[in-house]
């Protein structure tokens, strides 16, 4: 039985018209599900008996099963079970300015970044639209909150699941759907150049973040396999194109790993890549895990790296790891469960 969360509004409109119902019935169903939180077709009082029966006979409204939640003051990490038994993660961060949810896009990931728990667990499959949307809906219902912003930065490479990502953005931003503004969505990629260009052509206001993590091909080739296919120059050409098309600022994510990518030379290389561009840099002290030998850079090195960028006029922050204590680096909880 197909899940109703597997449809965008346009897809549901087409489906309803094709089977003899009205186009506006789709926005009615969306309104019940996404606005009123009603997960029972029989309670949707303004739709006809025939439509109710059609929906009850053919569609489900199942949420994702919650396998585990780890909470601290400002964050909750969810391990969610899919209908085929696979598990994914999402992380809710409660900021002063609102609730942000980091969602997964695939079961595992094939990009094989050397420091990443998700990459250790190879890609099993892409997530469906419902499996992406239901991370938000399930957490909202469980926590009795509204998610204000969404970051597609959990397990998986979102641009490797591009068609579903586009439909996901459509439901998240839909006025009858989750109604989260485009500027409150961020998609993070490890650098799939052709998809960055395709994303630019979508001409949305959705934010783009790039997991860079190294400022020379020599270092990035070691850390991120994708760099051998799309080296740094090509990634930055694609980012320039994205900025030209959208006039949106790009976030450069840079995890600082001791002795690997945190030297003065690394910082200066990064300056030359970013300087004068509509980009800002997020420095992220590495979140150590038991499965890797990588170590977090010490405070002195982190501050020095930051100072070099700052002195050269780069917009930069050091991101506080508010969810580190609950294994919030992507894939850590799932990796632990399956270990």
Verify binding: residue 102, ligand SF4, rule CB under 6 A: no
Q: Which is nearer to ligand SF4, 17 or 229 (CB)?
A: 229
Q: Does 132 bind ligand SF4 (CB under 6 A)?
A: no
Closest distance of CB 59 from ligand SF4, Å: 31
Q: Is residue 113 near ligand SF4 by the rule CB under 6 A?
A: yes
- Is 113 marked active-site? no
Residue 89 among the catalytic residues: yes
Whose CA is closest to 223, among 283, 158, 164, 292? 292
Does residue 155 bind ligand SF4 (CB under 6 A)?
yes
Torsion over CA: 334, 336, 337, 339 (sign): positive
Phi, psi of 288 (to 5 degrees): -65, 140
Q: How far apart are CA 229 and CA 211, in angstroms?
A: 15
**Catalytic-labelled residue, pool 13, 89, 131, 157:** 89
Q: Decide: 7 and 15 in contact? Cβ < 8 Å.
A: yes
Whole-number minimum distance, CB 257 to ligand SF4, in Å?
13
How many CB atoms lie under 10 A from the CB of residue 169?
Answer: 23
Residue number with the smallest Cβ distance to ligand SF4: 119
Interface pattern 243-262 for ligand SF4 (x via CB under 6 A):
--------------------
Separation CA 245–CA 260 (nearest Å) = 34
Q: Which range touches ligand SF4 (CB under 6 A), out of 82-90, 105-113, 214-222, 263-271?
A: 105-113
Catalytic positions, written as ranges: 89, 330
Which spans of this chain sit near ligand SF4 (rule: CB under 6 A)? 109, 111-113, 116, 118-119, 155-157, 190, 211, 330
């Amino acid at each position: 039985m197909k899940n109703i969360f597997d449809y965008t509004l346009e897809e549901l409109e087409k489906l309803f018209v094709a089977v003899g119902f009205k186009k506006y019935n789709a926005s009615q169903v969306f309104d019940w599900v996404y606005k009123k939180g009603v997960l029972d077709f029989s309670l949707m009082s303004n739709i006809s008996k025939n439509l109710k029966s059609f929906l009850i006979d053919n569609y489900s409204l199942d949420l994702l099963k919650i396998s585990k939640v780890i909470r601290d003051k400002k964050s909750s990490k969810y391990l969610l079970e899919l209908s085929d038994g696979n598990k994914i993660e999402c992380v809710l961060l409660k900021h002063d300015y609102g609730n942000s949810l980091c969602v997964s896009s695939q079961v595992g990931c094939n990009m094989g970044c050397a420091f990443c728990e998700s990459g250790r667990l190879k890609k099993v499959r892409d997530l469906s639209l419902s499996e992406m949307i239901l991370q938000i809906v399930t957490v909202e219902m469980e926590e009795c909150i509204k998610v204000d912003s969404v970051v597609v930065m959990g397990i998986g490479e979102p641009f490797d699941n591009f068609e579903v990502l586009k439909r996901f953005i459509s439901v998240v931003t839909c006025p009858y759907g989750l109604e989260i503004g485009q500027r409150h969505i961020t998609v993070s990629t490890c650098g799939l150049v052709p998809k960055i260009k395709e994303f630019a052509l979508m001409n949305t206001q959705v934010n783009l973040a790039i997991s860079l993590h190294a400022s020379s091909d020599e270092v990035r080739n070691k850390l991120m396999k994708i760099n051998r296919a799309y080296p740094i120059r090509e990634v930055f050409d694609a980012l320039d194109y994205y900025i030209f098309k959208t006039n949106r600022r790009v976030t450069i994510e840079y995890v600082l790993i001791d002795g690997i990518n945190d030297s003065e030379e690394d910082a200066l290389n990064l300056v030359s890549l970013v300087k004068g561009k509509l980009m800002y840099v997020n420095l992220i002290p590495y979140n150590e895990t038991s499965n890797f030998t990588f170590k977090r850079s010490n405070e002195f090195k982190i501050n020095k790296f930051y100072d070099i960028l700052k002195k050269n006029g780069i917009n930069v922050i050091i991101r506080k790891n508010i969810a580190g204590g609950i294994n919030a680096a992507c894939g850590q909880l799932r990796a632990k469960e399956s270990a």
